[in-house]
Amino acid sequence: MNDLKNKLKQFRFMNGELTQQELAVKVSVSRQTIIAIEKGKFNPSMKLALLIARVFRVNVEEIFYLEEK
């Protein structure tokens, strides 16, 4: 089984230390949603993953990836 992992926190800090709240506003979700995604407790929808990638101007696979078990 594969787990969805992410580098969201690293991308926020590499891009001007964007706060969780600032990112949440940019993609129209709550700060709690961003926190849950970063902690791996919530998998974003495809649409949300694409919106997040667009904020950072990268391919979605650069932020979200499958970890082999």
Number of domains in the chain: 1
The verdict on residue 8 lying in a domain is: yes
Backbone angles phi, psi at 43, to 5 degrees: -95, 125
The verdict on residue 14 lying in a domain is: yes
d(CA 2, CA 40): 13
Q: 1 pLDDT exceeds 70?
A: no
pLDDT, tens only, 6-43: 999 999 999 999 999 999 999 999 999 999 999 999 99
Q: 2 pLDDT exceeds 90?
A: no
d(CA 44, CA 17): 21
Other Cβ atoms less than 10 A from the Cβ of 31: the count is: 14
The verdict on residue 36 lying in a domain is: yes
Cα distances from 28 to residues 4, 50, 65, in angstroms, run: 22, 13, 22
pLDDT, tens only, 42-59: 999 999 999 999 999 999
**3 or 50, higher pLDDT:** 50
Can you give the CATH number for the domain in which 13 is found?
1.10.260.40
Query: Token pair 């932020």 is at which residue?
Result: 63
pTM score, whole prediction: 0.91
Which residue range(s) make up the domain with 54? 3-59
